[in-house]
Amino acid sequence: MDNTFLHEVAITAIIIKDGKYLITRRSPNKKRFPGMWTVPGGRLEAKDYLALPKDTEFYWYNVLERVLEREVKEEVGLTIKNVQYLTSLATVHKDGSPSIVISCVADYDSGEVTLQKEETDDFAWVTTEESKQYQLLDGIFEEFVQIDKLKKTGIKPLWERAK
């Protein structure tokens, strides 16, 4: 079987509350990136839409938005609003699995942070500058910089490595 077109699809949310971003520390028992700081999110699974009625004759809409809302609620106990696309990235993990990650930015809506212990073991609300004190997954700091530029100018820049 040719798996050229098969990718794991994940979606993440940089949640903004009072001008700060929510970061979480991955559980030390996680297979990928244990103990590293990241933002909430998770993988898309076919069951996320197959059990739902289609929105048109052929398609389900708002699939990623629903997955992201569910993952954020499960992982950190929050509800979010105003989900907006930020950037995307691709990788091939050490086990050979190709992944596409869709990174979004969202506003905090309600709830108190309640961690899903098998996923994460700590959290912090940080500014971009404060985030430098944490061992973030590669690229997330630059996503914070990207959001800061967007807030300042109203124009969404492309992701680029911080200088």
Tokens representing 58? 């052929």
What pTM, to 2 d.p., does this model score? 0.91
Q: Which helix (H) or strand (E) holds 81?
A: strand 79-92
Select from 43, 48, 20, 21 the least CA-distant residue to 31. Answer: 43
pLDDT in tens, 74-110: 999 999 999 999 999 999 888 888 999 999 999 999 9
Select from 82, 42, 38 the least CA-distant residue to 64. Answer: 42
Residue 138 backbone zone (phi > 0: left; psi -120 to 50: alpha; other: beta): beta
Phi, psi of 27 (to 5 degrees): -55, 145
User: How high does pLDDT run on average in the chain?
Assistant: 92
Q: How far apart are CA 2 and CA 130, in angstroms?
A: 45
Task: Answer whether residue 111 shows pLDDT above 80.
Answer: yes
Cβ neighbour number for residue 69 with a 10 Å cutoff: 20
**Cβ density class 80-105: b for 16+ within 10 Å, e for less:** beebeebbeeeeeeeeeeeeebbbbb
Q: How far apart are CA 49 and CA 120, in angstroms?
A: 26
Which of the four CATH numbers 3.90.79.10, 3.30.70.520, 2.60.40.1120, 3.20.20.240 does domain 8-153 have?
Answer: 3.90.79.10
Select from 161, 149, 135 the least CA-distant residue to 33. Answer: 135
pLDDT in tens, 8-66: 899 999 999 999 999 999 988 888 788 999 999 999 888 888 988 999 999 999 999 99
Tell me the pLDDT band of 1, cut-offs 50, 70 and 90: very low
